[in-house]
Amino acid sequence: MKIVVVGPGAIGCLFAAYLAKSKEEVWLLDKNKERAAKINECGISLEGASGSWQVKVKATANPADIGKADLIIICVKSFHTKLTIEQIKPLLSDETKILTLQNGIGNVEIISESAGEERVIAGVTNEGSTLIDIGKIRHAGRGETIIGTIDGKTPVQMRAIRELLNKVGFECKMSRDIKSLLWSKLIINVGINALSAITRLPNGKLIEYEGTRRILRDAVTEAARIAKRKRIKLIFDDPLAKVEAVCEGTQGNLSSMLQDVLRKKRTEVDFINGVIVRLGQELGIDVPTNKFLLDLVKTIESSYAQSAQ
């Protein structure tokens, strides 16, 4: 199976490294030529939960170098999804499947619109990975990866992908209700990511202070109300208890949005809290806390240039 991982971030490098270590034919596709060249030369280095090791991975910024792919794993930031799908079109054959392991809501729809719904498999991964430098990651913790199609079907190719990921060292399962999983992860991200990015606090600290704990609870309550109106069944009965449990279980972690802010990078807030704000407007549900969090993160992003002066 020829596999192309798109995006050399923390999750992209993690999956590319495991697949390459298992002697699969793996390519890492990047939009940055210089970064791709460095990864192609030096490979990917890991430390942490899976030990310390290094593996060579073929990396390029030119899809023409790769040819047709059997599986494409999308690991780019959500705001790059539309451009990425245009970039990978030369890789598509009639049999190519596209697996998205991205944050937020809306990526499946964007990919389906451009590449065809029949190709798309949605995924949620709880693997913890932090990007230290180009091609260097810290595997912070192990977790399940769950995949599924939006229509609930289980095509033969998806079962083959599950078997492949299990074979190379991930714990992968299939779900007939992947939408519930995507929304359940969204609820957690709604509570943690923007608030941590604004306060610069690690996950666990968010529930130690009364002010941040109250804001977290309000944001999660608003998001859960939206999910209920849309008749989406979450995988946990008590969203507030779940998000607080995640804060406790990942107490030392810096959320991906906080990492973006510290690096003065664009965040995925539009695909997380922004989703709740847009749906709130559509459904006539007031979501002031998520609007507040969205506005503050967007302000932080806008201030990057000034703070660099």
Alpha-carbon gap, residue 303 to 309, rounded angstroms: 10
Alpha-carbon gap, residue 154 to 72, rounded angstroms: 18
Candidates 58, 97, 136, 185; catalytic one = 185
Contact residues for 274 (Cβ-Cβ < 8 A; gap 6+): 294
- Return the number of other C-beta atoms located less than 10 Å from residue 214's C-beta: 11
For residue 185, indicate whether it is catalytic: yes
Tokens of 131: 């990007």
Phi and psi, residue 72, nearest 5°: -120, 125
Give catalytic residue positions.
185
